[in-house]
Amino acid sequence: MPILEVKDIRKSFGSTEVLKGISFSLEKGQVVSVIGSSGSGKTTLLRCLNFLETPDGGSIAVNGETIFDAADPAARREADIRRNRLHFGLVFQSFNLFPQYTALENVTLARKMLAKEEADYRDRKKELFAAIEDDARRLLARMGLADRMDNYPHQLSGGQQQRVAIARALALRPDILCFDEPTSALDPELTQEVLRVIRQLADDETTMVIVTHEMAFARDVSSRVIFMDGGVVVEEGDPHQVIDAPTQERTRRFLEGYSGKY
Amino acid sequence: MDQILQQMPIVLKALNVGFLQTLNLFFVTGLGAIPLGLVIAFGSMSRFKPLSILTRLVVWVVRGTPLMIQLLIIFYFPGMVLGSNIWGKGEAGRFLASAIAFIFNYACYFSEIYRGGIQSVPRGQQEAGLVLGMTKSQIFFKVTLLQVIKRIVPPMSNEVITLVKDTALARIIALQEIIWAGQSFLKGSHGIAGAIWPLFFTAVYYLIFNGIVTVLLGKLEKRLDYFR
Ligand SMILES: Nc1ncnc2c1ncn2[C@@H]1O[C@H](COP(=O)(O)OP(=O)(O)OP(=O)(O)O)[C@@H](O)[C@H]1O
Ligand SMILES: [Mg+2]
């Protein structure tokens, strides 16, 4: 059974239809990269998965359980949406760290808020928080930030900030971690350190959906590649096939813009 | 000179009493307008159009007309329409009317500062919180609020310093604040008449108080310097 099954997702802004029926599925431990030109709807797709946008049509199932179905109005209840979001994590292009918190606090904040909803929170607060902090330290160390835990975001480089953001998303143990052009705001050197971390996550079989313009990276790290254009999936398949020998004319034209760069 | 020295204790005592009323008005306005401003800010940002339009209209009128007119209207108008003074008799009534005029006026100014501050926090902050499963109120109190406070402290400081001086406007409905107390020695009070120097003296009170306020707000600004 696929861990994620997206069926016929549609989304319009006003009269422009940005997603015109996107379907794909993902097995546990797989990495799918989404490529496509600017405006093709990649960000909108990730925002729909994370319920930052409500799709106008289609359904989303995680582990065989339908967590969203546009035909069912009950799917729009805020409390349910918030719970369902936890199946997904999202790493933004612009990091969006909380500036008033240290790296460690950025990673622990949401977990601590969620801990308050546990039945035995009052009695076990200390214990719960200690576990959350241990976990966060371990994650930050894994991101190569063991000596940066007490720094505030403005004291960190872009690459370090993005790695904190990845740790922050991982702290909630999402089933599927999404990345929206995680390195687009970084210069080449910092890009490599972030890609290295994502590659390591892939090796550890983290299920991921990665929107990226780094073609070489997408080819190396992905189980599958999806090429989107104009709100539809134009081509999907094995990364080497899609990137090195695309069957569709539109994919070929898009990739020509990258030729020699990967 | 000798005479001034002789009169000094009497004058200072009267000015102190007046200044106490100035401080009362200052703190009551602050305590009322700071939270009320937030309510007005949320009203003006409401997605329910009639509410946001009405709120912005009221804010525009209040900010576009002199506080002195608002004071006079709030103090005299109910009595003229209802035929009775709803504020109560004497100094307590004048204080109540002044406090309401000041709170409402300053809440409108504060609301615009809050609105600017809230809107200047990038959307990505809220979205990051949502994606992490936080509720809207958790995001407001744990993520947005401190960033808003950091941004509004400098413009709020300006307003607060203006408020210190604006309290003098309540003199127009004869609230017995420090200007009223200083002026009373011109017309004859405590057996002293035609003395202008007590009025000059009131300025010293304002300067000292504003000095303290400026230092405290500067400290607050510094304390929020640890993040960007
Ligand atoms: N909130 C919105 N309101 C109106 N139009 C929007 C909104 N969000 C996105 N769009 C439009 O939808 C289209 C797809 O946008 P999207 O951001 O998903 O593209 P993208 O594939 O991520 O592009 P890029 O590579 O530039 O990030 C664009 O034409 C964009 O202008
Ligand atoms: Mg995008």
Contact yes or no for B172/B68 (Cβ under 8 A): yes
For the CA of A14, the closest atom of ligand 1 is 4
A-B contacts (CB, under 8 Å):
65
DSSP state of B169: G
* Cβ neighbour number for residue A32 with a 10 Å cutoff: 23
State the Cα–Cα distance between residues A57 and A87, nearest whole angstrom. 20
Indicate the number of domains in chain B. 1
User: Contact A154/B132, CB-based, under 8 Å?
Assistant: no
State the Cα–Cα distance between residues B2 and B204, nearest whole angstrom. 21
pLDDT tier, A259 (very low <50, low <70, confident <90, very high otherwise): low
For the CA of A213, the closest atom of ligand 1 is 25
Q: What is the pLDDT of residues A102-150, one digit of tens each?
A: 999 999 999 999 999 888 888 899 999 999 999 999 999 999 999 999 9
List residues bridging with A232 in a β-sheet: A229
Mean pLDDT over each residue of chain A, to the nearest integer: 94
pLDDT of residue B132: 97
User: Contact B122/A96, CB-based, under 8 Å?
Assistant: yes
State the Cα–Cα distance between residues A189 and A195, nearest whole angstrom. 10
Contact yes or no for B115/B97 (Cβ under 8 A): no
Using CA atoms, how far residue A48 sits from A85, A171, A172, A183, in Å, is: 10, 21, 19, 21
Q: What is the pLDDT of residues A179-236, one digit of tens each?
A: 999 999 999 999 999 999 999 999 999 999 999 999 999 999 999 999 999 999 999 9
Closest CA to B171 of B11, B18, B52: B18
Q: Show the domain range for B40.
A: 2-227
Pocket test of ligand 1: the residue of A17, A18, A228 to mutate, having most ligand atoms within 8 Å of its CB, is A18
Q: What residues of chain B score a pLDDT lower than 50?
A: none
Q: Ligand 1 center to residue A231 CA distance, Å?
A: 10
The pTM (predicted TM-score) of the whole model is 0.89
- Is the pLDDT confidence value at A98 over 90? yes
First vs last Cα of chain B: how many Å apart? 55
pLDDT tier, A72 (very low <50, low <70, confident <90, very high otherwise): confident
Residue in B closest to A101 by C-alpha: B227
Q: Which residues have C-beta atoms less than 6 Å from ligand 1? A: A 13, 18, 36, 38-44
Q: What is the mean pLDDT of residues A45-64?
A: 96
CA angle A102, A105, A109 (to 5 degrees): 145
Q: What is the mean pLDDT of residues A161-170?
A: 98
SS3 B136: helix
State the Cα–Cα distance between residues B122 and B196, nearest whole angstrom. 54
DSSP state of A143: T
State the Cα–Cα distance between residues B83 and A249, nearest whole angstrom. 85
Please tell me if residue B137 touches chain A, with a CB cutoff of 8 Å. Answer: no
Closest CA to B75 of B165, B187, B161, B169: B169
- A-side interface with B, Cβ within 8 Å? 50-52, 82-83, 85-86, 88-90, 92, 94, 96-100, 109-110, 113-114, 152-154, 168-169, 172
What sign has the CA pseudo-torsion B156, B160, B161, B167? positive
Burial of B205 (0-12, 13-18, 19+ CB in 10 A): buried
User: Contact A98/B130, CB-based, under 8 Å?
Assistant: no
Q: Closest Cα to atom 31, ligand 1: which residue? A: A39
Nearest CB among B131, B143, B227 relative to A154 is that of: B227
DSSP state of B143: I
Q: Which parts of chain B are beta strand (E)?
A: none
- Is the pLDDT confidence value at A262 over 80? no
Q: Residues of A167-201 as b/e, b for ≥16 C-beta within 10 angstroms?
A: bbbbbbebbbbbbbbbbebbeeebbebbbebbeeb
Strand order in A16-26's β-sheet?
A: A16-26, A4-13, A57-62, A65-69
Contact yes or no for A35/A226 (Cβ under 8 A): yes
Contact yes or no for B121/B147 (Cβ under 8 A): yes
CATH code for the domain in which residue B151 is found: 1.10.3720.10
Q: Closest Cα to atom 7, ligand 1: which residue? A: A13
SS3 A210: strand
Q: Ligand 1 center to residue B218 CA distance, Å?
A: 43
Assembly ipTM: 0.94
Q: What is the mean pLDDT of residues A9-33?
A: 97
pLDDT of residue A167: 98
What are the residues whose beta carbon lies below 5 Å from ligand 2 (ion)? Answer: A 43
